[in-house]
């Protein structure tokens, strides 16, 4: 059985999804370091584009297909730590990533945002990053609303392969077109 609802006298208490293979991860010693820092735990498998001080990466746990993050190379935890150059390149790359996603996936809209601090929802709260989430009419369907389950329609390696060439296409020698 992969899931089920615990019931007591006809009242639903919570949904449970059984994932026994996660036990090994839960019991294992976790590596120290940052998943976004180049010389630490970062996986280059998800990198789409690297600028001078900022890079674009697929979210390993996407909200929707094409969920990207724009991340400074430096380990910054607060907005005021950005240099003017990092701020400019960050938002230039957010714009570029939006153009790439629009060309490749034709979404109806985008969510763009930052979760500053763990209480605000940041999974990594000590290395700033900007989320860019493509959205389509009807992408919040019964699976998300009633099943509390997201359906990601494409493998991350396929998404990466379709997006990477477009970053080069939209970049001119002097910066984003």
User: At 12, is the pLDDT very low, low, confident or very high (cuts 50, 70, 90)?
Assistant: low
Q: Average pLDDT, stretch 64-75? A: 92
The better pLDDT of the pair 26, 54 is held by 54
For residues 97 and 56, the answer to whether their CB atoms sit within 8 Å is yes
pLDDT tens by residue, 72-99: 999 999 999 999 999 999 999 999 999 9
CA distances from 97 to 3, 22, 55 (A): 37, 33, 10
Tokens found for residue 143:
């699976």
How many CB atoms within 10 Å of residue 48? Answer: 21
The better pLDDT of the pair 159, 145 is held by 159
Tokens found for residue 4:
């089920």
pLDDT tens by residue, 23-53: 776 677 777 888 888 888 888 889 999 999 9
pLDDT greater than 70 at residue 147? no
How many CB atoms within 10 Å of residue 21? Answer: 7
Catalytic residue among 67, 75, 127, 129: 129
Cα atoms found within 13 Å of the Cα of residue 131, Cβ hemisphere only: 21
CA distances from 48 to 106, 157, 177 (A): 18, 11, 17
- Quick check: is 67 catalytic? no
Query: Whats the size of the chain, residue-wise?
Result: 177
For residues 59 and 48, the answer to whether their CB atoms sit within 8 Å is no
d(CA 56, CA 71): 6
pTM value is 0.73
Domains of the chain: 35-176 (3.30.428.10)
């Amino acid at each position: 059985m992969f899931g089920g609802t615990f019931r007591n006298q006809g009242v639903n208490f919570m949904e449970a999804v059984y994932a026994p293979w996660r036990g090994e991860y839960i019991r294992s010693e976790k590596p120290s370091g940052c998943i976004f820092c180049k010389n630490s735990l970062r996986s280059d498998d998800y990198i789409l584009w690297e600028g001078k001080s900022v890079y674009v990466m697929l979210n390993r746990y996407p909200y929707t297909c094409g969920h990207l993050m724009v991340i400074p190379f430096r380990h910054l935890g607060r907005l005021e730590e950005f240099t003017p150059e990092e701020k400019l390149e960050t938002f230039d790359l957010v714009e570029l990533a939006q153009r790439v996603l629009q060309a490749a996936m034709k979404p109806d809209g985008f969510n763009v945002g930052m979760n500053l601090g763990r209480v605000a929802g940041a999974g990594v709260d000590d290395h700033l990053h900007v989320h860019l989430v493509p959205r389509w009419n009807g992408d919040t369907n019964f699976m998300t609303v009633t099943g509390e389950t997201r359906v990601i329609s494409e493998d991350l390696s396929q998404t990466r392969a379709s997006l990477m060439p477009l970053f080069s296409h939209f970049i001119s020698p002097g910066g984003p077109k």
